[in-house]
Amino acid sequence: MSGTQRDNGPANSTEAKKTDLRMHERKCSWASYMTNSPTVIVMIGLPARGKTYMSKKLTRYLNWIGVPTKVFNLGVYRREAVRAYKSYDFFRHDNEEAMKIRKQCALVALQDVKAYLTEEGGQIAVFDATNTTRERRDLIQAFVKENAFKVFFVESVCDDPEVIAANILEVKVSSPDYPERHRERVMDDFLKRIECYKVTYQPLNPDDYDKDLSFIKVINVGRRFLVNRVQDYIQSKIVYYLMNIHVHSHSIYLCRHGESNHNVEGRIGGDSELSPRGRQFAHTLREFVDEHKLSDLKVWTSQLRRTIQTAEELGVPYEQWKILNEIDAGVCEEMTYEMIQETFPEEFALRDQDKYHYRYPGGESYQDLVQRLEPVIMELERQGNVLVVCHQAVMRCLLAYFLDKGADDLPYMKCPLHTVLKLTPVAYGCKVEMFYLNVEAVNTHRDRPLGKIPKDSAIIHRRNSYTPLSSHDQVKRPRLYSAGNQPWLPLAPTPSALMPEGRQSQESLCEGIDFDSPDETSGCVRF
Amino acid sequence: MLDNEEFMLDSYPRELTQNPLKKIWMPCRNGHIAQRRVCMTNCPTLIVTVGLPARGKTYISKKLTRYLNWIGVPTKEFNVGQYRRECLKIYKSFEFFRPDNEEGLKIRRQCATSALNDVRQYLSVEGGQVAVFDATNTTRERRGTIVKFAEQNGFKVFFVESVCEDPDVIAQNIVQVKLGSPDYLHCNSEEAIEDFMKRIKCYESSYQPLDEVLDRDLSYIKIMDVGRRYLVNRVVDHIQSRIVYYLMNIHITPRSIYLCRHGESDLNIKGRIGGDSGLSARGKEFAKHLRKFIQEQNIKDLKVWTSQMKRTIQTAECLGVPYEQWKSLNEIDAGVCEEMMYEEIQEHYPLEFALRDQDKYRYRYPKGESYEDLVQRLEPVIMELERQENILVICHQAVMRCLLAYFLDKTADELPYLNCPLHTVLKLTPVAYGCKVESVYLGVDSVNTHRDRPENVNVQRSTEDALQTVPAHF
């Protein structure tokens, strides 16, 4: 295999810019690359219809496949503007003062959307609000047109009172609007809040007023879908994703194969068998599965011996997926880290510089792995209870999807041997329970290296991962290279919190906006 | 260990053995390998088309069948019109389809029953997984019969309805596929069109489209105006979800797909497979000819895709237009045989070499891939190709064979032996129910990299027999 070229530094500044752009460009995921103009996804629906659930889930998925996406939840803006929520009266459509505030919040949120998509490198903004009137949607459309964004509507329609009640109990009772959390009171107030919206609700009309819009109408939690005028690749993927998720309760169990002979020797990759301790783990795993009494548990493995041997012990049918195979370490397969350090010191250093994007020569990167694993994620969304017996890098990628971890964190997530992670979707996130099955094993985790890694050392061009500029993108936007929500951005809830809102300062957000000035409120159309 | 003891030790893990062809680890006991059939669905699925004539039902049926077979789901279509033609022998006129034609109705019902019997045979006996029942099925009564049939046999049912009122689309349909139908061989165009329009009228009065309320318990997709809008109801499993995704991505806008390989590479010249070498002098010459060819073709909004290997990228660079790289388009991974000549493979891995000739589609190189793996890898590419319009894909031999097999509906047996020579561009233009292929050799010499299946595929064969079909190289 011929060696890599070394670039000793470009001669002039335009060259430098081009090189820089190329270096940055190659880090974009394929999915991100295929998305040309920024898109605003606009949620529509009465309260308690799962808009925020879908917004967050969709955002998590899009970020995971490498498309920088962010949610803008109007409720959060409203809570900042009106510090103390008193009652549903705020939402009455004849409450003029409240209407003014709510409209302002929408405008502020849209400004943030604009900033995210044009200056901060975002590609998709999810505008999570009721957006139940044509007026509001027309306002958004005007905004979108003005900024040359695409727009895709996601409407959730539900008339099943049980689903709505369950929704309210699961996420509204713990909302900041109801600090006292008295169930009946919350239910009562919230139902009245919904009634306020119903008065002015104008659902999307595919036959007439809204026939030229691009949208998906999700009816009764996915029993039925109406899809209109899908424009492009990313909208097609969004539709496919929304059609595959469900809200039935289920648990996903992730674990690695039992300790393998290569593990014991400190070798990466390969296709070795289980060590005696690995076999013991497999035996204990069987007890674990029996203990948890999982109905209709599906078991998936890779096509490498060590996961299959582990699953064999369980005595239940299992399915082999080649795409669950461990990351291909190319020329470094079956080496120890010491051997790699000795034989390929440059590669070793490069990997520590950017473990997510680094591709082993003749092998894969974590980024490749994520692309490879997408069908697994899609199928996990469709399924009920599943146990996935896989490998370290693979498990990190899957876990990052469920726990909304970005490219920086993903390659360093802890996935020790002989430990089962149980993931249960709850509210807007995922509950994680860790079960160490008490069978000793070697530690295969390599931490993030300490100290500064010189990032501006001579750049080695990898000729097989070069990605040129595409014609649609001559005006280069700075891109976010780490997939995943950046927690510092205002009003973005931290992924691990079950309490949705963080406590960051919102003054900066409302800076310069004078709610009482006539200019601000002129042209204000009643919501 | 004695046989009966082994059975008692229930918790003892079964030994794993690796299938030498597919390199898949499978459990075995006493030498018996447990067959694992990875399937997409638990029970067979019956897809039922619904719609007036000239709404694209057969187009959808054939395309869907082609796609499902390509991704490895055994699928077959059953066109009731065919059964009717076999029964009637001669088609006189639209009168046959009049709703008050008792004789006609009897025959049509018989044909449907006969087709359903064949469906049952295919799904229950012959190992098929999906059957596409292509007919108008425009009445609730007929659909009810089918649902009952499916229930009796343990099949799932998924309806695909095509609704379209655009007269231009319908006219275009008739011209493209009806004029050439066996029904109208003896007519001129005007007569045929007139008769067909009357035929459509016969169905219109009794047409009961799938209804949101009355049919709310059925699983279906309603395609409106050739994909402008879709209504999807109660998708119940993986295969239905994939079918819906596929149907939502296809379109009928006229366009052409250009497939070609990279220019001749340095490793090609040496007769070595795989690797990541650059273009040879002749390969670079080809790239220049390709640029000229593309310019002459004057294609509107042409997209260009390459793999992430040097030789395709170098070829595309010469074109002077933006292009996009897909890792999924990389050549098949030959594992331990990477960069070897066939002679060397025979020398070092004669068993592998023979196994490959025995079943080239399923054979997986040690630590590498099989054509079967390649197809799975290329599925997102195909999905995106369906969404695109004019496009040029610069790829590799095995990859091009897989893509070509999809467009030309080739079987797994034919696929690995499709001819995809260097320096030749294939232009595929969807037409009627299939694909027109034009092969353009761009006039630059190259080595031949095509290795036919030798006569002797026995693992004991001589070196001479093994290397019988290896193409010449430097």
Segment 5-24 of chain B within 8 Å of chain A by CB? 10-11, 13-14, 16, 18, 23-24
Partners of residue B45 on adjacent β-strands:
B130, B156
CATH of domain B45-248: 3.40.50.300
Active-site hit among B77, B161, B262, B289? B262
Domain match, A261 and A215 both: no
Instruction: State the pLDDT confidence band at A479, using cuts at 50, 70 and 90.
Output: very low
User: What does pTM read for this prediction?
Assistant: 0.85
Supply the pLDDT for residue B32: 54
Instruction: State the pLDDT confidence band at A467, using cuts at 50, 70 and 90.
Output: very low
Domain match, A428 and A392 both: yes
Asked whether residue A351 carries a pLDDT value surpassing 50, the answer given is: yes
Is A305 at the interface with chain B, CB within 8 A?
yes
- Among A95-104, A138-147, A457-466, the range scoring the smallest mean pLDDT is A457-466
In A184-260, where do the E strands start and end?
Answer: 215-219, 224-228, 252-256
% of chain B at pLDDT higher than 90: 80
Supply the pLDDT for residue B29: 64
**SS3 for chain B, per residue?**
CCHHHHHHCCCCCCEEEECCCCCCEEEEECCEECCCCCCCCCCCEEEEEECCCCCCHHHHHHHHHHHHHHCCCCEEEEEHHHHHHHHHCCCCCHHHHCCCCHHHHHHHHHHHHHHHHHHHHHHHHCCCCEEEEECCCCCHHHHHHHHHHHHHHCCEEEEEEEECCCHHHHHHHHHHHHCCCHHHCCCCHHHHHHHHHHHHHHHHCCCCCCCCCCCCCCCEEEEECCCCEEEEECCCCHHHHHHHHHHHHCCCCCCCEEEEECCCEHHHHCCECCCCCCECHHHHHHHHHHHHHHHHHCCCCCEEEECCCHHHHHHHHCCCCCCEECHHHCCCCCHHHCCCEHHHHHHHCHHHHHHHHHCCCCCCCCCCCCHHHHHHHHHHHHHHHHHCCCEEEEECHHHHHHHHHHHHCCCCCCHHHCCCCCCEEEEEEEECCEEEEEEEECCCCCCCCCCCCCCCCCCCCCHHHHCCCCCCCC
Domain match, A288 and A207 both: no
Task: Tell me if A429 is assigned to a ligand binding site.
Answer: no
Task: Tell me if A306 is assigned to a ligand binding site.
Answer: yes
CATH code of the domain containing A51: 3.40.50.300
Is A474 at the interface with chain B, CB within 8 A?
no
User: A209, A244, A279: which is the final residue of a domain?
Assistant: A244
Subunit contact B24:A312, Cβ cutoff 8 A:
no
Subunit contact B229:A228, Cβ cutoff 8 A:
yes
% of chain A at pLDDT higher than 70: 78
User: A374, A408, A436: which is the final residue of a domain?
Assistant: A436
Domain match, A286 and A230 both: no
CATH of domain B257-467: 3.40.50.1240
Read off the pLDDT of each residue in A346-370 and give the average, rounded to a whole number.
93
Asked whether residue B302 carries a pLDDT value surpassing 90, the answer given is: yes
Domain match, A391 and A287 both: yes
Is A240 at the interface with chain B, CB within 8 A?
yes
- Average pLDDT along chain A: 80
CA A291 to chain centre: 32
CATH code of the domain containing A292: 3.40.50.1240
Is A284 at the interface with chain B, CB within 8 A?
no
CA A359 to chain centre: 22
Domain match, A238 and A329 both: no
Q: Which of A169-178, A417-426, B25-34 has the highest mean pLDDT?
A: A417-426
Tens of pLDDT along A82-116?
877 778 888 888 888 888 888 999 999 999 999 99
Task: Tell me if A259 is assigned to a ligand binding site.
Answer: yes
Q: Which helix (H) or strand (E) holds A5?
A: strand A5-6
Segment 493-522 of chain A within 8 Å of chain B by CB? none
Inter-chain CB pairs, A–B, below 8 Å: 109
Instruction: State the pLDDT confidence band at A454, using cuts at 50, 70 and 90.
Output: low
Domain match, A240 and A302 both: no
Report angle CA B386, B392, B397 to the nearest 5 degrees.
Answer: 95
Supply the pLDDT for residue B33: 52
Q: State the total domains in chain A.
A: 2
Instruction: Give how far Cα A184 sits from Cα of A178, A179, A181, Å.
Output: 11, 13, 9
Tens of pLDDT along A407-442?
999 999 999 999 999 999 887 889 999 999 999 999
Segment 431-470 of chain B within 8 Å of chain A by CB? none
Domain match, A219 and A342 both: no
Q: Which residues of chain B are in CATH 3.40.50.300 domains?
A: 45-248
In order, the DSSP letters of A18-59 are HHHHHHHHTTS-HHHHH--S-EEEEEE--TTSSHHHHHHHHH
Q: Which residues of chain B are in CATH 3.40.50.1240 domains?
A: 257-467
Q: Which residues of B135-151 are buried (b: 16+ CB within 10 A; e: fewer)?
A: bbbbeeebbebbbebbe
3-state SS, residue A384: coil
Tens of pLDDT along B196-235?
999 999 999 999 999 999 999 999 999 999 999 999 999 9
**SS3 for A323-375, per residue?**
HHCCCCCHHHCCCEHHHHHHHCHHHHHHHHHCCCCCCCCCCCCHHHHHHHHHH
Residue A311: inside a domain, yes or no? yes
Asked whether residue A511 carries a pLDDT value surpassing 70, the answer given is: no
With beta carbons under 8 A apart, name residues in chain A contacting B310.
Answer: 463-464
Read off the pLDDT of each residue in B275-288 and give the average, rounded to a whole number.
96
Is B229 at the interface with chain A, CB within 8 A?
yes
Domain that holds residue A147: 38-244
Supply the pLDDT for residue B370: 96
Partners of residue B18 on adjacent β-strands:
B25
With beta carbons under 8 A apart, name residues in chain A contacting B18.
Answer: 305
Q: Which two tokens stand for residue B206?
A: 């009794």
In this structure, are strands B391-395 and B257-261 parallel, antiparallel, or unpaired? parallel
Read off the pLDDT of each residue in A6-16 and give the average, rounded to a whole number.
44
Supply the pLDDT for residue A32: 59
- Written as one letter, the residue type at B145 is T
A257 is catalytic: yes
Tens of pLDDT along A36-51?
689 999 999 999 899 9
A326 is catalytic: yes
> Please, what sign has the CA dihedral across residues B382, B384, B388, B390?
negative
Q: Which helix (H) or strand (E) holds A189?
A: helix A183-200
Measure the CA–CA gap between B318 and B281, rounded to whole angstroms.
Answer: 13
Active-site hit among A189, A326, A347, A374? A326
With beta carbons under 8 A apart, name residues in chain A contacting B367.
Answer: 333
Q: Pick from B11, B248, B327: which is nearest to A239 by CB?
A: B248
Which residue from B421, B422, B428 is spatially nearest to B403, judged by alpha carbons? B428
**Phi then psi for B405, rounded to 5 degrees?**
-60, -35
Reported ipTM: the value is 0.88
Domain match, A266 and A210 both: no
3-state SS, residue A162: helix
CA-based nearest distance B416→chain A, Å: 21
Domain match, A260 and A127 both: no
Is A463 at the interface with chain B, CB within 8 A?
yes
Q: Pick from A305, A319, A466: which is nearest to B25 by CB?
A: A305
Asked whether residue A23 carries a pLDDT value surpassing 80, the answer given is: no
In order, the DSSP letters of A393-442 are HHHHHHHHHHHT--TTTGGG----TTEEEEEEEETTEEEEEEEE-S----
User: A198, A225, A244: which is the final residue of a domain?
Assistant: A244
Active-site hit among B77, B161, B285, B331? B331
Read off the pLDDT of each residue in A206-230 and give the average, rounded to a whole number.
95
Task: Tell me if A258 is assigned to a ligand binding site.
Answer: yes
Supply the pLDDT for residue B30: 56
Q: Which residue of A has its CA nearest to B17?
A: A305
Segment 401-420 of chain A within 8 Å of chain B by CB? none
Q: Which of A26, A248, A309, A462 to mutate to test the interface with B (most CBs of B within 10 A)?
A: A309
Identify the burial level of B1 via C-beta atoms within 10 angstroms of its C-beta, where 0-12 means exposed, 13-18 middle and 19 or more buried.
exposed
Contact B416, B401 (CB under 8 A): yes
